[in-house]
Every structure is written in structure tokens, then in C-alpha cells.
């Protein structure tokens, strides 16, 4: 079996990882890679370890030569390409935020713009460990982002099992490497700004990814308190670590809830008691790891880690691709 | 005015900063610097920017030539030297944990060893912004450490003003540069281990500095919930950032509580609303900065930053020295 | 004595250091700071540790209120401001490349543009340790850059003393922290690009600073072989280390040549035999350090280090300012 | 085909990479991994991404269960194990320096100790791109180290083709990530020492690896001048970049010499004119890359890069393993 694929937005950090993975995937053949700013160049000019693939502008991509496309595009630019591809019978793995929210009004609330393709919604949310039923055979999958994946893996088992103290805030202190901010030059992402620094940003209830996290937690139909989400920028290139503080009703039931949730999962590990999750567990792998630390009778600390470019983006997209095409889920990972 | 001083433990990170500050202090004269492992060498061999001072073993330090000593020694080794100095009429600024806890039983509980000099206790706790009354003229001051300073500056105004919701946990997610772990070689502090990594350690209720933080918060005589303290190791050399999550009773009163607490303080800033504290605000300065972010009606996020080697160690020791000798508090800073 | 000064281009890395130094200089009063992109803001918005100074556009700077200006502007923009200031009787310390080359034709050869103010040339070259005679009382000084200072300090004593083997190449392998590339956002200076990387650029005979280095070496009237200059980008924020490989005629005379050249210099150290210069010797100081290692009978290795933003830019500018106004050379450093 | 292998010294940086590679090698089965300090633990305790293999002391390793061993041991400890393995009919890939030098007297000269197993010498030197003839079927291979590989790949084509100007020094300015210094705790390898620093060490003619570099260059029977080798410590974890300055007799012949030398080599690339080699080309890959820059009529700059733990250690050992057992050379890489 071999699926012909195209990758939109191949020169960003996520795009580069996705090319690397798909280039080595036994059942995928890369037919095109796009870039607006570097069209006409080779992908190797963007990244010396990349395969020597010619970059084309999105408008020139030969959609008729592929069966599936991956979209690593900014939000608002991604959904229109998804619509175009689907209209031509090409399946879509969208790594942008455009298709993650079921309700276009919620999209507008958080992204301050009308949804570019509301007719496509809703779309299956591609976090396989929390719900892979809708993914096999799907024509389009919204692949979630790095913060959402890290936080949902750390909190969904608690919500689903009704373990949270009603009304108590659910606090997530998250730290991310800088590649999450993308490859477009910005002064605050310069090496000389980040080196030796550490900064919170959009803390509290301000970060856009709250919307998709809450949407997915709400599916459990179980109450949870106000979700507080405080991201910080780490002086490293990749990796996310989320430290979650949760007031729980039955500390004794916590470990089983997580172990049941992820039993048999090849890409999510619940670490043994006493071992704390660190970026070193997961960086440059497609895996997530979770540690559980009871801090008091009712205060649980969950640490959740993953590589923001892999389980938080590119490898999760490949995982969704494998499920979509009904291949073994970890093929090529 | 000129005080003759000696510095014990001059070759560690804190000791080096202290030498630098005292070497430039207009009213201090360094008479000796000690090191057990490098006795006989020049301090310049430990640090190329240091002044060319001869290192002596502690046992050979000429206590009779000084009026004040600074102790940058490991706990259990520090208190006996303090006792010896005080017995000879030499005043003491102790940067170790030995003299910070009033009750030797609490010391034993957290440090798992008998207190080496219980007769010295209690000693004034040298966090001037939270209580400088006992410091002028003191014969000995226990200078607090980096985590304690960062956390106390961020929480004491809330406790003192009775602003915390009773029973709600007080959560501190802290991140520190690696110099806080000292200069003794350890595998987990090697560059190749820390670079690209980020790790929690001793999270929950396990870190020793909880003892002094709670002792100082308790002085306010106001209730607060379980203190949760989760330190993490940052891939940078210096700086501490503590993100505090507090449930408060009157969000409207929060800013005034902090602004009143630190009004006129030259070394602690409360940032204007909308500006978040970062390591870049304070690294390589003797200052702390605090930002206040209401995340919901009753959930407050306080971010507190300082340089762990300066306001968290050496410059705070000099601040205490200035107060002890009744000089202007920021002399030499 | 107090000189009223203005700083053009205050929001770049060099400008920020210069503000910091002049703000603490006992004989300078900052009257204005300029920025085109941030005019109307406070300098604190560019840098949280900066003093709270209002930024004005260069065109709005009150030249009539100052006696001296510092220009931290891009080349071609700097010389016209210099001309304007001089025409109003305001002295100039220019940190750009505009006034460093005596011959406008050489400027055009290397910068590929007509010189913006050829009537101002030649201007005294402000590397005090290699020639401070022309600096006291000068109306304008061209303050040299980081690479030129590091290389000239390491090679001028060899050229002046005629110690180089005629015809043998003079090889400089240089490494610089990224702040030398400035604060304007560029993709190749993003943290995620530089972290974990190390890159040569413009190696051989391609870097523009060769022109001023050779101009200054030529003043000695002594032969030297082809100068090869290979800069590399270090994954750190600041500091330059230049490793110079020189074939010498009399190895025995080398150390004396350097020690004589820098005898009594407060800001340039020749390290004792056996000690190698490192960035750690000089980063965040106004000093340069040089080590001398004979590698064979006739092959000498000189290692020269300095902080690119200080001795390679801002503190050297202040040193030149002090000389210009006939104050002690290290005032405020 | 499946070869049973054992790995001595599995908990160092090279050992860990080797385990990772051999664990994924289709024709190798890891039968044991050794560690003196961590015997009895799982390898996962040394490295969270490692497979869960039990560590045994070297003395307890079941040599009778394997056909081949890899030795990642300190010099002097490695050769005795090699002798023991060979005596039992087990083949050996030695990654230490013990078996690289043909002449035990040269070993003693550079390592200041008697050779621990001189009867084993000489042994084929496992740098396949410069000589793979002796490797297929070899019972023991000395796998060269990181600096030697980087420097030999950059200089051997020049020496072999007689392109160097006789008598002119051959200058190598090398820069290495810190993992090359190993995982044993040392103060100068602590994060807080290396971060923000950059340091030369053992420059000139002092580094031990000169011995094996010169031995291999001498095999060409062509003259070359004094080899100068100046290593520097980079503030990054992995990667070596060597900048070579060579005076050449026929610049026109240089590119062909390199392209001929490495034609068809899957793991060594000669970059096109105008592209400079950087660590980013090779880090975390088994490949080396070389760029050629003519700096003047006769001065050539060669930049050679590789990952010190892979092509400079573990992947080169696997390459040698593949050749030894007559498998395709890049199997498992």
C-alpha cells in the first residue's frame, strides 16, 4: 500500500518534521511540498538535513496527484485549502487550529475572525488516545496542537472518571520550547532574547488553546472547575512540560484511572510512582509521558511531557494519517 | 566607615558573587576568603574575573582581623563557624539554612540531622522587605535562600492582609537556573544533561525550603491553605521565577496589598497591570519583581522573579550587612 | 564636570549597553535617546532593566541640548547624523562603520555604496590601546567594532615589532555570540535556529571588517602576509573569541612584545603563560584578555577575548568619550 | 542473519547512542550491557529513553553468549577486555583509544602509561571512507574518535593527492560539544560553567588525538607540514566542527580531490561551492559533511562537521560492525 501525499507549509518547524517522518514512512510517497516564501527553491535550502524536494506555491500544488494532504498552515489559511482538497476527493489532515472547534462562533470568539469554512465543521479531533473511534476512514481530521495534547492527556482521565473536586480550579502551569512559536522572525524569539531568559505569556484565561481543551474535556459530561492555563517560554528549542494541579476526591483511584486510560497505548506512558516526567523522557520521540504525584490528601500533581513538534504536531498527524488509512497506528514513527 | 570582613566558602557561585559585591563595597574591606578544596590557591584560579585573593582553609582564617563574616557554607558546617565567630565578638551573616529555622526540632525534621548549634536560635530572618526591624545592630542574621525569598515576597502580602480563601491550597510552581544547585560536580548538573532538558524535582511537599517559608508565613497569624511547592530545573544558569496560584477573597484588594507592602522599597517592584515578570527583569541585578494577574474572579496569579545568586543570596546578604551595620540599605548594590 | 549627551539608536543591543553605562557615568547626563521604530515609547518597553527614558525619532532629537552624541546606527545612516551634529558644534562618537575607513573608495569597495559623508574623513580611530594620541580633544571619533578590536589587539604587537614571517598567511579563526548580529529579527538568528548549532559565515576574505583591520595594521609600516579571517556564530548571546595562528620569526620575543604593548593598560590583560583566554574572562566586563601559546618553533597561537557589546562596542565608546573629554579613561566603566 | 552482541560501558553518552542504534539494528541482538557504577540497575535509570536492559558489571558479562562486543570504556581498561573477548573467539569493536595506535611506544608517549595489551597491535583502523579494505571479516577493529574522524576526513584527500605546500603548517581549529568530555561529573563541565562560555583547551600540539591523526595521514607517504590542532569547547551538547587552514599547491585540483575521495560514499558529503558546513547539517545523523572555501590563491579553508557521538563514535562503530560482518555498510543507521 502506498498513499500519495502532499504537504502544505513544509518549511516551518512542524512541516520539516512532517517531511522527515513521511519521507521515511513505508506507505507514504511525498508528491509535493509547498511554501509561499520559498517556492522555486529546494527544501534543502530551508533545512540542510531535509530531502532535496522542490517547493511549489500552494496555488501550484498538483492536488490531482495525491490522495491525502497535510496542512501546516496558519489558521484562516488552512481551512480554505482543506475545503478545496476535500472537494477534489483528497483527504485532509489539518494541523492548524481551523478545524478543531466544532462551533464556528467559538472560533470567532477566540481567533477574532469569521471562520473561513464553517461548512466543514465539525471534524473528528485527532487525539487518538482519547478517542480514536471516529478516525479510521475519516475524510478529514483536525490534528490537535502541542499544548492541547499535553493538557488533555494529563486531565481527561480525571474528568472522565469524575475524580475532580467540583468547583475547585484546575490549574495548568505549562512550559514550552521556542519552536512552538514558529519560524517567522520575531524579535522576542531571537536567540539573544531567549537565552538566559524565561517568561510567562498569556497566562490565566487568555490563551487560545483553552477553547479546544475545554471543548474536549466537556465531552466527558462531567463537571470540572475553572481551567487556568499559564504558558511559559523555555530557553530550549523543543518540548512541552505541563504541571497540573488538581484537587481530587479520591486520591486512591487516581493511578488506576490513568493506567486504565492508557493501558496498551504504545505512545503514552504512565511513569511508575516516584519517577517524575521530564523533557528528557520524550524530546525527539513520538511519545508522551505522564507522572502522578500526590502532594497532599487531595492535591494531585500531574506532569505531562511531549515533544511539541512530534506528539504535539507532526508525529500525531502521522498517527492520525495511519488511522485514517487503517494502517497500524505507529507505522513510520 | 569601613568594616573588615571575611567570607567563608568563597569559591562557590554564591561566594563568588559575594566577593564581587564586597570587593566593590565602599565600606567593606575583605580580609580573608576561605575554601577547603582550593586553600593555597588564588581565588582567580576559581574564577577568572575574581580579584586575586589568597584562599585559606576555614581553620586558618584570621577571625581576629575582622568584624563580620559571611558564611557561604553547606548546612551543618555553617552553624559551628557562626558560633565560633560570635564567641569571638565577630558578627555573622549566615547564608546557609542552619540559622533560619527558630526551632531545632523542625530543622531535624527537614534536614534529618541534629541541629549543630541550637543555642544560637532563634536568629533574625534577613528578608528586609518583610521585616527589617530586628536587623539593625543584630549580631547575627540568617539570610534566606532563593526559593524562600521569591515565594515569600509573592505570598506574604496576601497572608498578612487575610486575602486568601481559607482552606484553598496555595500553589507555587517554581523554576530555577542551575547555579542554585551549587558548584560541586554532579552528573545531573552536567551541561549535556541540562541543555535541552527541563525537569521537576522534589515537587509537592518535599522540598526543604518549605519549612522556612511556612515559618515566615505563620508569623502573620493569618490562616492559609496547604502550601504546595513544585520546583523545576531550568536550562539556564541563574534566575528564579515562581508562578503562584492563589484563591483570594477580594480580588479588588490585591494590588493595593502588594503596592502597600512594597511602597518605597528600592529593590522590590510591583509591575504595572498587564506587564508580566520575567527573568529578564532581574537577572544580574539585586532586585525582585512581582506581577499580578487576575485569572478569574477569585484566582490570582502572582509571578515573582529574582536572581537566585543576588536577591536570592549574595546581594541580600549585603543588604543585611548594610542593615546590621546601620548603613544605607543599598550601599554597594 | 558633566557632559550632556544623546544616544542615537538606543534600542539595539549596543545602544542598551551604552545607555546603561552612561546612566551610571558620573560625568555624563543623558538628554535624549532615539529610536525610529519605538519613538513615543519608554526605553523600558524595549528592555525591562533600562531606565525609564522617552524615545524620540532621530529627526526630533534636541541636538541643541547636548555637547556630545553617540551613534549606534546602521552604516550609511550614521554619517549624515554625524555631519549634522558636528555642524552644530556637537561632538560625535560614532559606533557604526561609517567613519572608520580613511578612504571613501575603500568604503565603497566593501560596503557597495557611496560614502554618505566623505568630507568628514579621515577620523581618529578609537582603539585607545593601539593609539590614543589623537583622541583627547577630538571632535569626532570612529569607535571600532567587536571583531576589529579583538583581532587588532591580538595582532598589532606582532606587526609593529616586525615579528611575523614575511609572506606567511596570518590566520584568524573568530567566534562571536549572536548579539553581534543585532536585534532586528532574522530567521537565522531565531533561538530555535542557533540553539545546538554552530556555523561559519563569510570566511576567508569576505567579511567587511577586514578593511578596517588591514587599514590599522598597515599603519605600522611593517609587512605581514595575507590576512585570513573566518568568523563563526556561537550559540551564546555575547562575547568574541579570536584564535590567531601566526608564523613568527622570533618566538622568544613574542611575550615581551605583547607585555610591552599593554603594560599599564587597565583594560587589556596579557595572561600568564599556561593560562588560556576564554569568554569567561571577559563577558560582561569592559576588558579584553590575550593568551599566548607557542605551538611549535615558529607557530604562535594568540587567543583574544572580549565582550562584543562592551570592549567591542559600548564600553569602548565610553572609553573614547572619556578620552575625548579628557577625563580619566575608565570613568564609569 | 542476527549477531549477538554485548556493549561494555553502556551508560556513557557513546554507550547510550550505541545501545539505541543496535536496539534498532535489524541484524543485531543485544545480549548484555555493562556498567560498573550502575550494575544491578536498568539502563532506563541512566537514560529515560533507553530500552529496559539490565546492567551487569563487566566481570559478570556472559561473553559466551555473544559473537561480538563493543567497548565504550576508558583507555587502559578497554584493551584487556578486548584481549579476553578475542581469546574466547568473540570479535571486538573498540571505541577507546587503546587499539588505534600501531606502536605501543607512541601510545606510551601520549598516554603516559604502558600499553595494556601490546600483543594485539596493530589493529585495522575503522574509518571506512579512508580505508575499508581491512575491515570485512576483521576480528577486531579500532573505531576512531570524533576529532580524528573530523580532521582526517578534511585533510586526508589533500595529503594523499600531494596538494599541500611542503613545510607549511596545517592548521586545524576545532570546536566540540561537551558530550565529548564524557558523563563523569567534572566541575568545568557543569551547565553553569559552560553556558555562556567558550574555551580553548590543549591547543597547539598538546591533544592526544594528534597521534592517531598523524599516524593515519602518514600512511599516504606524502609530506605535510606541522599539524597544529586547537580544540575549543562549545556551549552545546553535541557536534564537532573543524575549520582547517591549508596552504595548497593547486587550488584548482582541490575540489576534484575531495569529490573523488568521497564519490559514492553514503555518509560523507562534499557540499556544493558556496555552501558552508554547519553543525546543523549533521547533528543527530550518522553523516559527515565537508565544505571547501578558497580564501586566496593558495589558502584553502576546509570545514568538516559531524556528530561526535555518531559518526564520531557510535554510528561509526556500527558502520564498522556492518563491514566486519559483511553486511551492507549503512544497515541500522
Q: Which CATH number fits domain B3-143+313-324: 3.40.50.720, 3.50.50.60, 1.10.10.350, 3.90.400.10?
A: 3.40.50.720
* Alpha-carbon gap, residue A75 to C257, rounded angstroms: 64
Q: What is the pLDDT of residues B68-114, one digit of tens each?
A: 999 999 999 999 999 999 999 999 999 999 999 999 999 999 999 99
Average pLDDT over residues C4-23: 97
Average pLDDT over residues C130-154: 97
ipTM: 0.96
Q: What is the pLDDT of residues C152-185, one digit of tens each?
A: 999 999 999 999 999 999 999 999 999 999 999 9
Report yes or no: C284 at the A interface, CB cutoff 8 Å. Answer: no
Q: Which residue of B has its CA nearest to D233?
A: B191
The pLDDT, as a whole number, for residue C220 is 87
The pLDDT, as a whole number, for residue A169 is 97
Distance from CA of B41 to the nearest CA of A (A): 31
Find which of D179, D182, D190 to mutate to test the B interface (most B CBs within 10 Å of its CB).
D190
Assess contact for A93 and A324: CB atoms under 8 A: yes
* Alpha-carbon gap, residue D164 to A287, rounded angstroms: 51
Per-residue pLDDT at B127 exceeds 70: yes
D37 to chain B: which residues are within 8 Å by CB? none
Task: Give whole-number Cα distances, D185 to D12, D78, D135, in Å.
Answer: 11, 21, 35
* Alpha-carbon gap, residue B10 to B320, rounded angstroms: 18
The pLDDT, as a whole number, for residue A97 is 97
Which 3 state secondary structure label does DSSP give D216? helix
Helices (H), chain C: 13-23, 78-87, 104-111, 146-160, 191-194, 210-218, 254-261, 314-324
Find which of B23, B47, B49 to mutate to test the C interface (most C CBs within 10 Å of its CB).
B49
B157 sits in which H/E element: helix B146-160
The confidence band for B1, taking pLDDT boundaries of 50, 70 and 90, is low
Which 3 state secondary structure label does DSSP give A299? strand
CA atoms within 13 A on the CB side of D321: 34
Distance from CA of B85 to the nearest CA of A (A): 38
* Alpha-carbon gap, residue C53 to C56, rounded angstroms: 10
Q: Choose among A51, A57, A59: nearest CA to A16.
A: A51
Between the two ends of chain C, the Cα-to-Cα distance in Å is: 17
C195/A237 touch (CB, cutoff 8 Å), yes or no: yes
C285/B196 touch (CB, cutoff 8 Å), yes or no: no
Q: What is the pLDDT of residues B204-253, one digit of tens each?
A: 999 999 999 999 999 988 989 999 999 999 999 999 999 999 999 999 99
Q: In the CATH hierarchy, which top-level class contains the domain D147-306? A: alpha beta
If you search the block for the grid coordinates 574572562, which residue do you land on?
C281
The pLDDT, as a whole number, for residue A220 is 87
Cβ neighbours for C191, distance < 8 A, ≥ 6 positions apart: A178, A189, A190, A191, A193, A194, A195, A235, A237
Q: What is the pLDDT of residues D275-301, one digit of tens each?
A: 999 999 999 999 999 999 999 999 999
- Listed in order, the ranges of chain C carrying CATH 3.40.50.720 are 3-143+313-324
The confidence band for D269, taking pLDDT boundaries of 50, 70 and 90, is very high
Assess contact for A97 and A75: CB atoms under 8 A: yes
Average pLDDT over residues C70-87: 98
B281 to chain C: which residues are within 8 Å by CB? 48-49
* Alpha-carbon gap, residue A244 to C297, rounded angstroms: 64
Q: Look over chain D and give the mean of its residue pLDDT values, rounded to a whole number.
A: 97
Helices (H), chain A: 13-23, 78-87, 104-111, 146-160, 191-194, 209-218, 254-261, 314-324
* Alpha-carbon gap, residue C179 to C309, rounded angstroms: 8
- A141 beta partners: A93
Chains that touch A (3 or more CB pairs under 8 A): B, C, D
Phi, psi of A179 (to 5 degrees): -65, -20
Distance from CA of C86 to the nearest CA of A (A): 33
Which 3 state secondary structure label does DSSP give C65? helix
Q: Compare CB distances from C48 to B195, B196, B281 and report the shortest one's residue.
A: B281
Q: Compare CB distances from D285 to A47, A49, A280 and report the shortest one's residue.
A: A49
Q: Compare CB distances from A205 to B198, B237, B296 and report the shortest one's residue.
A: B296
* Alpha-carbon gap, residue D101 to D120, rounded angstroms: 11
Between the two ends of chain D, the Cα-to-Cα distance in Å is: 17
The pLDDT, as a whole number, for residue A148 is 98
Assess contact for C267 and C311: CB atoms under 8 A: yes
pTM for the whole thing?
0.97
Per-residue pLDDT at C101 exceeds 70: yes
B198 to chain A: which residues are within 8 Å by CB? 175, 234, 236, 239, 241, 278-279
Per-residue pLDDT at D220 exceeds 90: no
| D170-176 and D240-247 beta bridge pairing | antiparallel
C2 sits in which H/E element: none
Task: Quote the cell numbers at residue A54.
Answer: 522542490
Average pLDDT over residues D310-319: 98
C301 to chain D: which residues are within 8 Å by CB? 203-204, 228, 230
The pLDDT, as a whole number, for residue A143 is 98
C185/A186 touch (CB, cutoff 8 Å), yes or no: yes
Distance from CA of A206 to the nearest CA of C (A): 21
Q: Which residue of C has its CA nearest to B192?
A: C196
Q: What is the pLDDT along chain A (333 residues), one digit of tens a residue?
A: 699 999 999 999 999 999 999 999 999 999 999 999 999 999 999 999 999 999 999 999 999 999 999 999 999 999 999 999 999 999 999 999 999 999 999 999 999 999 999 999 999 999 999 999 999 999 999 999 999 999 999 999 999 999 999 999 999 999 999 999 999 999 999 999 999 999 999 999 999 999 999 999 999 889 899 999 999 999 999 999 999 999 999 999 999 999 999 999 999 999 999 999 999 999 999 999 999 999 999 999 999 999 999 999 999 999 999 999 999 999 999
Q: What is the pLDDT of residues B257-267, one digit of tens each?
A: 999 999 999 99
Q: What is the pLDDT of residues D135-146, one digit of tens each?
A: 999 999 999 999
Assess contact for D124 and D135: CB atoms under 8 A: yes
* Alpha-carbon gap, residue C63 to D48, rounded angstroms: 62
Assess contact for A165 and A298: CB atoms under 8 A: yes
Annotated catalytic residue A146: yes
* Alpha-carbon gap, residue B200 to A104, rounded angstroms: 38
Interface contacts B/D by beta carbons within 8 Å: 61
A175 sits in which H/E element: strand A170-176
Whether a cis peptide bond, with omega within 30° of 0, leads into A122 is yes
A198/B278 touch (CB, cutoff 8 Å), yes or no: yes
The confidence band for D1, taking pLDDT boundaries of 50, 70 and 90, is low
The pLDDT, as a whole number, for residue D71 is 98
Assess contact for D78 and D191: CB atoms under 8 A: no
Per-residue pLDDT at C1 exceeds 90: no
Q: Which residue of D has its CA nearest to C300?
A: D204
Which 3 state secondary structure label does DSSP give D315? helix
D200/C296 touch (CB, cutoff 8 Å), yes or no: no
- Listed in order, the ranges of chain A carrying CATH 3.30.360.10 are 147-306
- Tell me which residues of chain B, numbers 99 to 138, contact chain C at a CB-CB cutoff of 8 Å: none
The pLDDT, as a whole number, for residue C88 is 97
Report yes or no: B214 at the A interface, CB cutoff 8 Å. Answer: no
B285/C196 touch (CB, cutoff 8 Å), yes or no: no
Q: Which residue of A has its CA nearest to B281?
A: A197
The pLDDT, as a whole number, for residue C26 is 97
Per-residue pLDDT at C148 exceeds 90: yes
Q: How far is CA D257 from the centre of its chain?
A: 23
Assess contact for B263 and D222: CB atoms under 8 A: no
Q: Which residue of B has its CA nearest to A238?
A: B196
Amino acid at each position: 500500500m502506498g498513499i500519495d501525499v502532499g504537504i502544505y507549509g513544509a518549511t516551518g518547524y512542524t512541516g520539516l518534521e512532517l517531511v522527515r517522518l513521511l519521507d521515511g514512512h513505508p506507505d507514504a510517497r511525498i508528491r509535493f511540498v509547498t511554501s509561499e516564501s520559498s517556492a522555486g527553491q529546494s527544501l534543502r535550502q530551508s533545512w540542510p538535513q531535509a530531502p532535496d524536494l522542490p517547493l511549489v506555491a500552494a496555488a501550484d500544488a498538483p492536488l490531482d496527484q495525491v490522495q491525502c494532504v497535510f496542512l501546516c498552515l496558519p489558521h484562516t489559511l488552512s481551512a480554505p485549502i482543506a475545503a478545496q482538497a476535500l472537494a477534489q476527493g483528497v483527504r485532509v489532515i489539518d494541523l492548524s487550529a481551523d478545524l478543531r472547534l466544532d462551533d464556528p462562533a467559538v472560533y470567532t470568539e477566540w481567533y477574532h475572525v469569521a471562520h473561513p469554512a464553517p461548512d466543514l465543521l465539525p471534524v473528528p479531533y485527532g487525539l487518538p488516545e482519547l478517542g480514536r473511534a471516529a478516525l479510521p476512514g475519516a475524510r478529514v481530521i483536525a490534528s490537535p496542537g502541542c499544548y492541547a495534547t499535553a493538557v488533555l492527556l494529563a486531565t481527561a482521565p480525571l474528568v472522565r472518571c469524575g475524580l475532580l473536586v467540583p468547583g475547585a480550579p484546575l490549574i495548568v502551569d505549562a512550559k514550552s520550547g521556542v519552536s512552538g512559536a514558529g519560524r517567522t522572525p520575531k524579535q522576542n524569539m531571537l536567540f539573544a532574547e531567549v537565552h538566559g531568559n524565561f517568561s510567562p505569556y498569556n497566562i490565566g484565561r487568555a490563551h487560545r488553546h483553552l477553547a479546544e481543551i475545554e471543548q474536549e474535556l466537556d465531552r466527558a459530561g462531567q463537571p470540572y472547575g475553572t481551567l487556568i492555563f499559564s504558558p511559559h517560554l523555555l530557553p530550549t528549542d523543543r518540548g512541552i512540560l505541563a504541571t497540573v494541579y488538581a484537587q481530587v476526591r479520591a486520591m486512591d483511584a487516581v493511578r488506576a484511572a490513568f493506567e486504565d486510560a492508557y493501558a496498551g497505548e504504545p505512545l503514552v506512558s504512565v511513569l511508575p510512582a516516584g519517577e517524575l516526567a521530564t523533557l528528557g523522557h520524550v524530546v525527539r520521540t513520538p511519545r508522551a509521558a505522564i507522572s502522578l504525584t500526590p502532594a497532599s490528601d487531595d492535591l494531585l500533581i500531574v506532569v505531562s511531557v511531549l515533544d511539541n513538534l512530534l506528539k504535539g504536531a507532526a508525529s500525531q498527524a502521522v498517527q492520525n494519517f495511519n488511522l485514517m488509512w487503517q494502517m497500524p497506528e505507529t507505522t513510520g514513527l
